[in-house]
Each structure stands twice: as structure tokens, then as C-alpha cells.
Amino acid sequence: MKLINMRLKDEPPSISIEAEGHVWDIHDLYDFEGVRQNINDRTVILLWRPSIYATPPLYARAFEIVFAEVDYFEITPRDSEIPDFGEDTCLNGLLRILPEENTSELIANGYPIETDFPEERFHLWFMFRGGQNIRIGAETAIFRELISTH
């Protein structure tokens, strides 16, 4: 996957993305709002909104990460032992993983140790505090700041 206009910060695991000349803390200052998939276009979009801890002006804007030419898309169930559904919006970590790694084994064995990856040969794995995971393999990922948060 080629990260077009963004990069992971402080990995592994990362909780921030560097894009548009800023560091976007997607653990503390942003909440995950949802995912959209277009099967015909082979795109997946992850949408993030400012959390109650975000302060304007920078953190008043929502953003999305647009994945194009998606060839792998997986969402695992949340952890039923975690009663607070508010934890589902909080990113616990973001990792690059090799395409051949098994998601179930990664979850059972904990975070993999980040290694040097062959250029552009990885999936992004979003891990949430509620236990849910989103894993995406795509040709590209683009950070897009949204003008309105409504």
C-alpha cells in the first residue's frame, strides 16, 4: 500500500497520523465514526470526527482516510466482555502488517513486532479499545480533511 499524503507517526503501534502539515492524534482527539465501502469502485473510507477533547481550530475538522483499489477488507467483532460501547470509537493502535499474516493469530498473540517492510507491501490494521479490528489492504491510502463537521 502506498500512503499518498500521510504517514504513521510513532509506530509501533501508532496512534497518530502525520498529514497536511499536522499530527492528527486519532487516539485522544478523534473518534472513529464509521466505514463506507463501495464494492464496484473497490474503495473503503474510514471517517473520523473530533472527540470532546479536541480543541479548535485544527482539531475542529473531521477527516477521512480513503483506500483505493482495495483487495483485502476485514472487520472483526468487538469484544463482548467490554460493556462500554464508547470504547468502540477509540483507536487503541494502528500497525502495518504483512499481507500473509493471519488476523486471528495476531489478535490471539498480541501486537506483532514492527519490522522493515518491503516498500508498499503491507496492510493497515486499526485496533480499537472495544476489541474490534479493521484491516485493509489496498493500492493507496489518502488522507482527506473535511471542510464541515456536520
How far, in Å, CA of 120 to CA of 14, rounded?
A: 17
The cell for 146 is 473535511
pLDDT tens, position by position, 21-49? 988 999 989 999 999 999 999 999 999 99
pLDDT of 149 > 50? The answer is no
What mean pLDDT is predicted for residues 129-133?
92
Q: Please name every residue paired with 16 in a beta bridge, in sequence order, or none if there are none.
A: 9, 25
pTM of the model: 0.88
Distance in angstroms (rounded) separating the CA atoms of residues 44 and 34: 11
Confidence of residue 60 (pLDDT cuts 50, 70, 90): confident
3-state secondary structure of 117: coil
Residue whose C-alpha is closest to residue 96's, from 135, 144, 42, 129:
135
What's residue 53's pLDDT? 80
Q: What angle do CA 1, 113, 95 make, to 5 degrees?
A: 35
